[in-house]
Structure 1
Amino acid sequence: MRMLARYELRTLIGQGSMGHVWQAWDTQLKRPAAIKIINPDRLTGPASEVSPEDIAARFRREAELGARFSHPGLPTLYDAQLDGSPKDLYMVWELIVGLDLAQILAREGGRLPVALALALGAQIADVLACTHEDPVIHRDLKPANIMITEAWKAKLLDFGVAAVFGTDHPRLTHPGQVLGTVAYMAPEQFGYGRIVPQTDLYALGCLLYEMLTGHPPFTGDHLTVMDGHRYRPPTPARELRPDIDPAINDLVMSMLVKDAAERPASARLIADQLAPYTLPDPSAAHPAPGTDEASAATTEPPAPQLPLKIRIVQAQALFDDGRFGDALPACNKLSAELTAAGDDHTHQATELRAKAAYCHMRLGNQRKALSEYETLAAELSQDRAPEDSLLLDVRSHLGLLQVDNNQAGAALATFADIYPLLVTHLGPNAPQTVEVRTALNRLNQLGGALPRQDPAPTSQATT
């Protein structure tokens, strides 16, 4: 029996291009576990576009991300060895007993009963709502990465190619490198678009489509499938399965639109929209603990609200820690409270509004963030100097969002105004200056216009 530290490796249960997963036994705690190691062939085989060092970096990132979350739809990370050479690294995960969704679909003839498909979709959306608040984007949502237990509970696996949304984390990919599984990849994963939480929602749309109809939205060879994702609308799910509720059909198809900004705003919204279809009687749901009449009579009165200064510091701490899902409502509430308090608090209220806009951007709510930054830029320009630090920050993010929303002309105008100011007041090597310069140079290389999103000519679409 092969040993790895205190773990007995018993059966190889998963084998991918990057990692191997073993059913194992913890000899000290006397419990089963799943041990993930780097695929030995990737460390000794011929050179490829991904070096052993890059693979090890992704492996460490997966462990770091796995340790962040506690959710019933995610396995628990028990232990990890992340020091040493790539061949010495391993992760110890909770062992999930069941079948993956690909095996379930094969066993069920390709598609599932509507209620079961929607129940699983709601569970997966709930997991994504949790990870997106961090905000972590999975980037490889597919049937093989979703385990289904005997109780029909979905568990999302394998964050090996996941990304932390935003620009302040190191990138583990290279220009032109495509990560993911083609049948479930969003159009932006093939081109110039930014990878956002809505990228995972597109993949979830593909999964729901397959569970309901028996196949993904686009099939065929890789080029045909890529062409479909980028240019062709999928056949509405209800045309292939008429017993699908029209509202569900509309939801699934809204997740499959080409423009990420036009997809649903969040995974939480999707989970909430699927919930009524998966409960036998939503009105009969049990009330939350402490909300019934009996408990209300004995419940202590709520604690007095903390002073405003302390609540502002709490919101700042959430923001600084990257907990944007929690920071957003706190910033919104505080900015409204300060605005109502009068002119003496206007400056602080505006700073909190800017933080809320940034939270929207990091959570993938691109259209909302763009609108908020446009309003802030217009207001701040009226009474602040062009080199004001908050105004520069707001206009920098505005320009970057204009790029992401295919507003090339507006982005160029924004960058032309602020880039000299960034160089002068922050310096040419400041992170904000570098980010704006990179976006500006990209626009210059494209002739001042973003890549066309028009459908490809017929001759290209059918290659």
Structure 2
Amino acid sequence: MRTIGRFELRTLIGQGSMGHVWQSWDTQLKRPVAVKIINPERLVEQPNTISPEAVAARFCREAELGARFIHAGLPMLYDAELNGSPSDLYMVWELIVGQDLSQVLKDEGGRLPINQALALTVQIADTLACIHADPVIHRDLKPSNIMVTGGPQTKLLDFGVAAVYGDDYPRLTQEGQLLGTVAYMAPEQFIHRGVIVPQTDLYALGCLLYEMLTGQPPFTGDAASVMDAHRTRIPITASELRPDIPPGIDDLLMSLLAKETADRPASAHLVAHQLAPYLTPSDPTQPSTDTEPGQAADDPAAPPATPELLPAAIRIVQAQALFDAGHFGEALPLYNKLGLETAAPEDEHHSRLTAECRAKAAFCHMRLGNLPKALDDYTALAAELTQDTQPEDHLLLEVRSRVGLLQEANNRPGEALATFAAIYPLLFQHLGPDASLTNEVRTVFNRLNRLGINIPRPTPAPVEQGAT
């Protein structure tokens, strides 16, 4: 019998492209566990594949995420070995007894009773709300990554390709690399350097709910045709395939499957809240969708109110630490409050501090998936900074760049092209050609240029009657 560390690897219970999961025995604590190791095939350098070192980096990050969250919808990480060669690495997880959702669907003939499908979706949405608050984007939501245990209770598995924001979590996706499972991938995942936001997971959640209700994902066929359909086709409404589906569920599904991230629900918490009225009230397995007094229904990450505020200087440092670690849901309300408190136009120092807080708040909105709000806030801030600062000011350069990037993400490519044409020479000259922001703008700018996007012409002012 194979062993790793103090664990006996007994039965292979899960096998993916990145890792293998074994039902194992902890010889020291005398309990069953699930041990995940790197797929041995990934430890051999192969052309056109991710390198073993990159696989190991993703493996280690998955373990860090496992330790980061405690939630009923996530398995518990007991232990991990993250040092040594890739073949020596392993994670020790709570052993989940149940079936994955793909097997549940198979046993039920391909689709589930409506109430069961909605109940499972509420649980998954509640789990997504937890991870999105940081935010972490799962990026590979699919039936085989959802375990269903007695109760039933769902458990979301496999953060191997998750997108994690924050300076502590460097970008691991290689250029041109496609991550996820095609049948459940959002349109933006097929776009080079597409903006990945919490609504990316909500699109996959819509695909899951659609399949649980109808017996098939929204689009089927070969990979190329499914990818094209995600980008360009509107799926058949679920009620056409199953007439007993309530109209409200049809509407929610279509919003989850919207092509643009801005047209999808604002948060996973809101999805759970919208589904709650359709569930059997006495079902004890559902997470509560009630909110605390004063807490918005779509803002589960809002920190509890404190009776006495710390000095602003300390709270600025607190907000910065949360921001740098990628905890944008927690940093946002701090920056919003600080932006209001420091507003004092007659004081140059405080005016600058206000602008910096507002810029950080807008960035938080962007990473949390509130793209229209982020664009509005950045646009307003850019207009104000333009009046008071030099064009080469670094904060103004960043804000104007974000305006262009968000214009493109909000499907306004002509406006984005005009913004980039004005800002790129300044970025190149004052930040340098290799700065991350210069690179980000250059990549999207070049893509728009290759697509042949035209800069919109300004609308001429109407000529008054009688004018000569």
**Deviation at 1:302?**
7.3
Quick one: distance in 2 between partners of 1:379 and 1:143?
48
What letter is aligned with 1:70?
A: I
Moved more, 160-169 or 312-321: 160-169
Give 5+ residue unaligned stretches, structure 1.
291-300, 451-463
Query: Contact between 1:166 and 1:362, CA under 8 Å: does it hold in 2?
Result: no
Partner residue, 2:63: 63
Cα pair distance change 1:79/1:449, threshold 3 Å: farther
Amino acid at match of 1:326: E
Asked if 2 retains the 8 angstrom alpha-carbon contact of 1:399 and 1:415, the reply is yes
Give, in whole Å, the separation in 2 of the partners of 1:423 and 1:391.
14
> Where does residue 401 of structure 1 map in the other structure?
406
Q: Report the AA paired with residue 433 of structure 2.
A: P
Which residue of structure 1 aligns with residue 243 of structure 2? Answer: 242
Judge which range, 379-388 or 94-103, deviates more: 379-388
Matches within 5 A, 1:291-302: none
Evaluate the alpha carbon distance shift between residue 229 and residue 432 of structure 1 in structure 2; reply closer, same or farther with a 3 A threshold. closer
Displacement of 1:287: 9.1
Does the C-alpha gap of structure 1 residues 353 and 287 become closer, same or farther in structure 2, counting only changes over 3 Å?
closer
Match of 2:210 in 1: 209
- Residue 7 in structure 1 maps to residue 7 in structure 2: yes
Partner residue in 1 for 2:458: none
Partner of 1:384: 389
- 1:315 corresponds to which letter in structure 2? A
For 2:114, the equivalent position in structure 1 comes to: 114
Q: How many Å apart are 1:45 and its aligned residue? A: 8.5
Inter-CA distance 177–389: structure 2 relative to 1 (3 Å threshold): closer
- 2:167–2:326 Cα contact (<8 Å) kept: no
Cα distance in 1, alignment partners of residues 102 and 64 from structure 2: 27
1:103 alignment partner AA = Q
Deviation at 1:199, TM superposition (A): 1.4
CA distance in 1, matches of 2:428, 2:161: 35
Higher percent of residues as helix: 1
Alignment TM-score, normalising by the size of structure 1: 0.86
Give the 3 Å change call, closer, same or farther, for CA 218–288 of structure 1 in structure 2.
Answer: closer
Show structure 2 runs of 5+ residues with no match.
294-304, 456-468
Partner of residue 270, structure 2: 269
Indicate if the aligned counterparts of 1:129 and 1:267 stay in contact, CA closer than 8 A. Answer: yes
SS in 2 for 1:109: coil
Return the alpha-carbon distance in structure 1 between the equivalents of residues 9 and 230 of structure 2: 40
Alignment pair present for 1:177 and 2:173: no
Q: Deviations over 1:44-98 (max 9, x none)?
A: 5964523323322222222222222121111111212222222222111111111
In structure 2, the partner of 1:365 is 370
Using the aligned pairs only, state the percent identity. Answer: 68
Q: 1:304, 1:348 → 2: CA distance?
A: 22
Contact 2:316 2:338 in 1 (8 A): yes
Number of residues of Structure 1 aligned to a counterpart in Structure 2 = 438
Q: How does 1:336-355 map to 2 (within 5 A)?
A: 336-339=340-343, 343-344=346-347, 345-355=350-360
CA distance in 2, matches of 1:184, 1:215: 11
Distance 1:302 1:34, change over 3 A: closer
Aligned residue type for 1:317: A
- The answer to whether the 8 A contact 1:165-1:195 is kept is no
RMSD of aligned Cα (Å): 2.8
Structure 2 counterpart of 1:322: 326
Deviations 1:18-51 (A, max 9, x none): 2111011111122221001112233359645233
In 2, the alpha carbon distance for the partners of 1:289 and 1:24 equals 41
- 1:398 to 1:286, Cα distance in 2 relative to 1, 3 A: closer
Q: Which digits, 9 at most, give the CA deviation of each residue in 1:299-322, with x for residues without a partner?
A: xx9743333443333323322332
Q: Give yes or no for contact 1:335–1:352 (8 Å, CA) kept in 2.
A: yes
1:220 matches 2:221? yes
Cα deviation per residue 1:172-197 (whole Å; 9 max; x = unaligned)? 33333322222211122223333222
